[in-house]
Structure 1
Amino acid sequence: MKIYNAYSREKEEFVPIESNKVKMYACGITVYDDCHIGHARQAIVFDVISQYLRHRGYDVTYVRNYTDVDDKIIARANSEGINALTYSQKKIEEAELDLSTLGVIDADIKPKASDYIEKIIDFIDGLIKKGHAYATERGDVYFSVSSFKEYGKLSNRNTEELLNGVRKDVEEGKKSPIDFALWKSAKVGEIYWESPWGKGRPGWHIECSTMVIDTLGESIDIHGGGKDLIFPHHENEIAQSEAFTGKPYTKYWIHNGLITINGQKMSKSLGNSMTIKQALEKYNAEVIRYAMLEKHYSTAIDLNEKVFSLAEKQLYYFYNTLLKINEFLKSNDNSNGKAIEPSIVENIQKSFNDSMDDDFNTTTAISDLFSICKYINSLIINKKFAKEDISMTLSQIKDKLVQVFSVIGLLNENPQEFVDELRNKHLKILGISAEDIEDIILQRANSKADKNYEVADKLRNNLLDQGIILNDSKYGTSWDIKELYSIGNE
């Protein structure tokens, strides 16, 4: 297995610190508002990584935190006239529901910053004693960047560049403009905790280092988050953690690409912010998940209607293929059948592992799924083989597909229910009901029986103009949504 390590900037063979055990941490959500679609991608990516590592036999301990106290949370809580922790707990519960709906499996440990105040204070005190941090007269504590000679090794920046890029006015008592806050003195109306330096609260970066070391140890295998966290958040984590312990902090740094909406960065001021709740109102949860996994986790995604529409069509093709297998199995006994090409079933697992072993490449895994579905559809109409042999082969392929792709949270739904849900959604958009379609199919059948083919063709064409396609077979006439039917049937 190879993983792209943001620290070395190359793919590396994955060898955990402790044989067969993986200690993994992903920076979670700062719960100042409803979770947005960017939070969804990060959670899905690291859910997939943790589940695949388990699939490959690793003993994984996965930690994803919540930042439940910061400037934005305090401001929102004050505007609503409630305690900051009461506000953030409410948002955590909403986030848990959003992520669960998207099929994100709970992390093993989900620490909150507010539960770690005493340990954060001890961590900061240790940094001061080691000469890596200092307190100001007004009660702030800063990490001295110049005390950590390797600062910038993750983001490939040096302190001279950083000094040139920051504003020159420095907060009172701060020795260098690039030093960062470990403890912030409380302002009027803010939540605070008592500390050796006065009333205040932790800075953002120190929270994660404290939670990582407490839950997983001083050195961990994988640390991740969005690419926007590389600097300064992850850079600062490395500095304060390694300054405190004297040990390497993280072996592999993994970062997911960011999301834009219609080519622009998400922003409420631009009116293009998309929350998970808003996305779920429009799209099936697995459609959203698929849209996140169809591209490699490290690439940026520009989300728009076309992206979700394509995800719907592609998943519809996969589920419709599973539905065809189920229908074929109902009509054909496989008790005496023999698999036509047993290697195909074996190769499903091998190809999936090969793709995912290459830096968790869900893109190639999904590409293989298209090829398998194309083979399935060709096999269903194949007349060269005995039906019991086809039935046995399809049964084995279906079981293996569902088993394998459930690892990344796909193909988990009931095929009939998924197909019906998407059909009903599109029928509503088209302004036609299934009952109307069935009635027209009956009229068309009567016209053909009366040899009035011109009327039959007109009925068919009228449905086509409305976005409904008809398929005639020896079993009768079935219908489908033209837009959904296009994938896999070109």
Structure 2
Amino acid sequence: MAPITVHNSLKPGAPVPFIPKEEGKISWYACGPTTYDLSHLGHARNYVSTDIIRRILIHHFGYKVNFVMNYTDVDDKIIIKARRKRLLELEKEKSYTPEQIRELVVKAFLAYADSNLPLLAGEDQTALDEKNYRERKDAAYGKVLAGGTLSGEGKPSDAEAKIKMHLNNMDSAAQSLQTGSGFEGAEEILLPYLDSLYKQTIDTSDQSMFTDLTQAMEKAFNDDMTALNVLPPDAVTRVTEYVPQIVSFVEKIVEKGFAYEANGSVYFDIAAFEKAGNTYAKLRPESKNDKALQEEGEGSLSKGLEGKKRSGDFALWKKSKPGEPYWPSPWGAGRPGWHIECSVMASDKLGEQMDIHSGGIDLAFPHHDNELAQSEAYFHQCGKGEHNWVNYFLHMGHLSIAGSKMSKSLKNFQTIQDALATTYTARNMRIVFLMGRWNDGVEISQDMRKQADSWENTLDNFFTNIKAKLAEADASTDGIKDLSLTEGAAKGLTEELEQAKKDLDAALRNSFDTAGAMQVILRLVRDANIYMADKSAAPNLQAVEAVARWVTKIVGIFGLDATAKPPYDGLGWGSASAASNVDPQTAIKPYAAAYSKVKEDVQSLNVSEASIQTLLEQQAPETEFAELEKSGERDVEKLALPYLRATSRLRDELRAIVSTLEPQTKQAVLALSDRIRDYDLTDIGVQLDDQVDKPSLIKFVPAAKLIAAREEKAALLAEKARQKEEARKAREQAEEEKWAKAKVPPQELFKSDPKYQEWDVDGMPTKLADGTELPKSQAKKLKKDWDRQKKLHDEYLVKFGGNKA
């Protein structure tokens, strides 16, 4: 069997064989979120893709995975956001007059522009204010606002996204100043201004301002992951719970000569590390001297810290300045550097070497490169060569919008909460990510969404149809557990199933190529649909069921069914109806009520046909349901079938006898038949498909989907009726205009035209208005018009009579 291969950022290029340290087991550390704001679709891309790979390793390849993830709950972004939030709260508590508030907002407005949008200053020396802001904004940043770049060349990037973010903040503040709204609308420009004034006055001995924020955001993140059906980690770590261990870890690196203290901070000594035979920036050697990335990695609060030997050296421990949280250390009050946290926590949980480390691609440098360096420095032993802390580094491609990565700091994101409420379902979002490679970037586009929707609808319809066919044939949906070839099954389809299993396994062994796997599934389902639609012979439902169960297993492994549990041997998308604690009596109430109503309405028709009377008297869905309940059945779809079959039989029989009924009764029966299908059953998530010479096919479809289809159909019919009515009115108007014109005798056709001065006895013009003779060419044309009018007028006389006024 071919080995599993994986794209390993430590060895760029083609996928390499994946060989864990211990057979059958995998140790894995994933960088978790920085808990300072709500998670967005970029986070969903990272954590859902990570979850998919983890599920494949566990449930397809059979590995036991120890998955550890951290929460960064102390960080420059957390400190800044929590501190600024507190400063704004304090400012709002002050007894300011409206004029004083305006003065404060104006100062913040100007400071924000000076710091982030320098081109707003203009060239005319006139001070910027809310009145001239719009004009200056368009003049200075019009290219960016129109979708271009600041330089006018190339494609927009993060720099342009950041400009748009700052302009949005200024827009709100300018509006606030114009309307006199006080603090409202100006918060984003006030926050950095207040921080610049008062940050050193904040008492950080009480860290609740920070923990209140991080705990709320951690809960929100966990709720998002649950909503996205992401498996919880096997172990979770938090930076604030590891500070003593971090201090000890840093001390050891210092002792080994790979770090140094400077003014209360401790920095990693890259030169000393490399001199000892180690490699720095293994993941991104080309970024080793990128000062912008280095500064981003150090954090905005590190500005002003002094004592580095070289600019590339990075902080392991930061001296805390006033307004920042702090912990004791041998170097004084301080806090952990960003990168050191993961080194300490991952090593604590997984030891000196792990199989997999993962995170978003934007973390590769400096975060992950610095993690590797400081961890390998910690475990370094003289004379034993380089230490490999991570064997496989998996970097998830980021999500982008219009060329810019989705980012909290750029504020160009849609939160997961909002996306699930307005745009995606959890399943649909996961399908979008499955349709691309995990290590490639994803650009949100309409085509991408359409492909995902089409894939989901194809499988949804397939599952619905096969379940309906099996129910129709009273087939047991628990009958096939062995997904191999079955004796007597349709040979072609089962061979396609066996090939699909091989193709899917090959795709997943090729660096978890879910895009290829999704195509394998789609191809097999389409083959099964073609087989079921073949009218030349009755399909072998056992063969189709085998396909459906295998597809169910794979979509379960991919996490596309939030209710499914390993070993995923059900049939179709899971639903809440399959819950083991469902109360049968409560669950079937809508179906029983629908049957009761239909039965009552059929009785009220007073149809005397024996077949209808027999059904009304002999059908006993209550008894069938009671037997199912007694047997322990808890699948609501199965429990509901007795009532739905009884309802469908009544409707089918009414449709069968309708041609023999009196016109009035016939009309009532047809109306009731449509109502049962389009309203009574649609509203409870049941679709009836009429079949020739066979009972209607009962399908379970989400009610919202059926109702939406019904409303769309009604809207189309209404639009068709509107267009028909408009066409009728247009025809009537054209007819009126035609006969109004036809009413004029040809002799009078040109008499009222001021272009002419004289006419002959037939009303044909002979002279123009200036007295000149009518040109022959014009006379010819006018004669044709005269002849057409005579013909039309003669029609008028025939239609309305010669005396028509």
TM range (shorter): 0.7 to 0.9
Give the direction of change, closer, same or farther, for the CA distance of 1:204–1:291 in structure 2 (3 Å limit): same
Contact kept, 8 Å, 1:36 with 1:273, in 2: the verdict is yes
1:424-448: per-residue Cα shift (whole Å, max 9, x none)?
xxxxxxxxxxxxxxxxxxxxx9xx9
- Equivalent residue runs for 1:396-411 within 5 Å: 396-411=546-561
Contact kept, 8 Å, 1:67 with 1:112, in 2: the verdict is yes
Kindly indicate whether residue 298 of structure 2 is the aligned counterpart of residue 148 of structure 1: no
Give the direction of change, closer, same or farther, for the CA distance of 1:417–1:59 in structure 2 (3 Å limit): closer
Contact kept, 8 Å, 2:340 with 2:374, in 1: the verdict is yes
Secondary structure, in 3 states, of the residue corresponding to 2:237? Answer: coil
Partner of 1:16: 20
Contact kept, 8 Å, 1:37 with 1:276, in 2: the verdict is yes
Distance 2:36 2:251 in 1: 28
> Match of 1:67, as an amino acid?
T
Give the direction of change, closer, same or farther, for the CA distance of 1:412–1:229 in structure 2 (3 Å limit): same
Distance 1:163 1:303 in 2: 30
Contact kept, 8 Å, 1:140 with 1:197, in 2: the verdict is yes
**Structure number with larger C-alpha Rg:** 2
Secondary structure, in 3 states, of the residue corresponding to 2:467? Answer: helix
Partner of 1:454: none
Secondary structure, in 3 states, of the residue corresponding to 2:10? Answer: coil
Distance 1:299 1:158 in 2: 20
Task: Tell me which of the two structures has the higher relative contact order, counting C-alpha pairs closer than 8 angstroms and 6 or more residues apart.
Answer: 1
Using the TM superposition, give the Cα deviation of residue 345 of structure 1 relative to its aligned residue in structure 2, in angstroms.
3.7
Using the TM superposition, give the Cα deviation of residue 170 of structure 1 relative to its aligned residue in structure 2, in angstroms.
8.0
Partner of 1:426: none
Using the TM superposition, give the Cα deviation of residue 66 of structure 1 relative to its aligned residue in structure 2, in angstroms.
1.0
Distance 1:310 1:16 in 2: 35
Q: What percent identity do the matched residue pairs reach?
A: 34
Secondary structure, in 3 states, of the residue corresponding to 1:105? Answer: coil
Give the direction of change, closer, same or farther, for the CA distance of 1:325–1:94 in structure 2 (3 Å limit): same
Distance 2:436 2:395 in 1: 14
- Equivalent residue runs for 1:101-116 within 5 Å: 101-116=227-242
What's the Cα RMSD here?
3.5
Using the TM superposition, give the Cα deviation of residue 189 of structure 1 relative to its aligned residue in structure 2, in angstroms.
2.1
- Equivalent residue runs for 1:340-489 within 5 Å: 340-341=490-491, 342-387=494-539, 390-411=540-561, 415=573, 474=692, 481=709
Which of 230, 242, 256 is the equivalent residue of 1:130? Answer: 256
- Equivalent residue runs for 1:11-410 within 5 Å: 11-55=15-59, 56-81=61-86, 82-137=208-263, 139-149=264-274, 150-157=279-286, 161-162=289-290, 171-246=305-380, 247-267=387-407, 272-282=412-422, 283-334=424-475, 338-341=488-491, 342-387=494-539, 390-410=540-560
Using the TM superposition, give the Cα deviation of residue 471 of structure 1 relative to its aligned residue in structure 2, in angstroms.
8.8
Using the TM superposition, give the Cα deviation of residue 147 of structure 1 relative to its aligned residue in structure 2, in angstroms.
1.6
Contact kept, 8 Å, 2:497 with 2:524, in 1: the verdict is no
Using the TM superposition, give the Cα deviation of residue 314 of structure 1 relative to its aligned residue in structure 2, in angstroms.
2.1
Distance 1:354 1:313 in 2: 24
Partner of 1:3: 6
1:58-85: per-residue Cα shift (whole Å, max 9, x none)?
1211111111110111122223435212
Contact kept, 8 Å, 2:431 with 2:452, in 1: the verdict is yes
Contact kept, 8 Å, 2:55 with 2:559, in 1: the verdict is no
Distance 1:314 1:327 in 2: 20
TM-score by length of 2: 0.51
Distance 2:70 2:371 in 1: 14
Distance 1:320 1:372 in 2: 14
Partner of 2:582: none
Using the TM superposition, give the Cα deviation of residue 41 of structure 1 relative to its aligned residue in structure 2, in angstroms.
1.1
Using the TM superposition, give the Cα deviation of residue 95 of structure 1 relative to its aligned residue in structure 2, in angstroms.
0.3
Using the TM superposition, give the Cα deviation of residue 338 of structure 1 relative to its aligned residue in structure 2, in angstroms.
3.5
1:368-401: per-residue Cα shift (whole Å, max 9, x none)?
11111101211222234444xx211122211111
Give the direction of change, closer, same or farther, for the CA distance of 1:331–1:166 in structure 2 (3 Å limit): closer
Using the TM superposition, give the Cα deviation of residue 166 of structure 1 relative to its aligned residue in structure 2, in angstroms.
6.9
Contact kept, 8 Å, 2:293 with 2:365, in 1: the verdict is no
Distance 1:269 1:119 in 2: 30
Using the TM superposition, give the Cα deviation of residue 327 of structure 1 relative to its aligned residue in structure 2, in angstroms.
0.7
Structure 2, unpaired ranges of 5+:
87-207, 296-302, 381-386, 480-486, 564-571, 577-654, 664-687, 700-705, 713-805
1:251-270: per-residue Cα shift (whole Å, max 9, x none)?
11111111112443335687
Distance 1:165 1:330 in 2: 61
Secondary structure, in 3 states, of the residue corresponding to 1:379? Answer: helix
1:321-344: per-residue Cα shift (whole Å, max 9, x none)?
110111111112457994213344
Distance 2:441 2:497 in 1: 33
> Match of 1:378, as an amino acid?
I
Contact kept, 8 Å, 1:151 with 1:158, in 2: the verdict is no
> Match of 2:391, as an amino acid?
K
Secondary structure, in 3 states, of the residue corresponding to 2:47? Answer: helix
Distance 1:292 1:130 in 2: 44
Task: Name whichever of 307-316 and 24-33 sits farther off.
Answer: 307-316
Using the TM superposition, give the Cα deviation of residue 22 of structure 1 relative to its aligned residue in structure 2, in angstroms.
0.8
1:48-105: per-residue Cα shift (whole Å, max 9, x none)?
1111111212121111111111011112222343521221011111100101110100
Equivalent pairs counted in the alignment come to: 442
Secondary structure, in 3 states, of the residue corresponding to 1:277? Answer: helix
Structure 1, unpaired ranges of 5+:
419-444, 451-469, 485-490
Contact kept, 8 Å, 1:35 with 1:95, in 2: the verdict is yes
Give the direction of change, closer, same or farther, for the CA distance of 1:271–1:17 in structure 2 (3 Å limit): closer
Task: Name whichever of 348-357 and 12-21 sits farther off.
Answer: 348-357
Distance 1:44 1:216 in 2: 23
Contact kept, 8 Å, 2:435 with 2:514, in 1: the verdict is yes
Contact kept, 8 Å, 2:246 with 2:341, in 1: the verdict is yes
Distance 1:278 1:158 in 2: 35
TM-score by length of 1: 0.81
Contact kept, 8 Å, 1:319 with 1:411, in 2: the verdict is no
> Match of 1:285, as an amino acid?
A
Give the direction of change, closer, same or farther, for the CA distance of 1:265–1:113 in structure 2 (3 Å limit): same
Question: Which structure features the higher share of strand residues?
Answer: 1
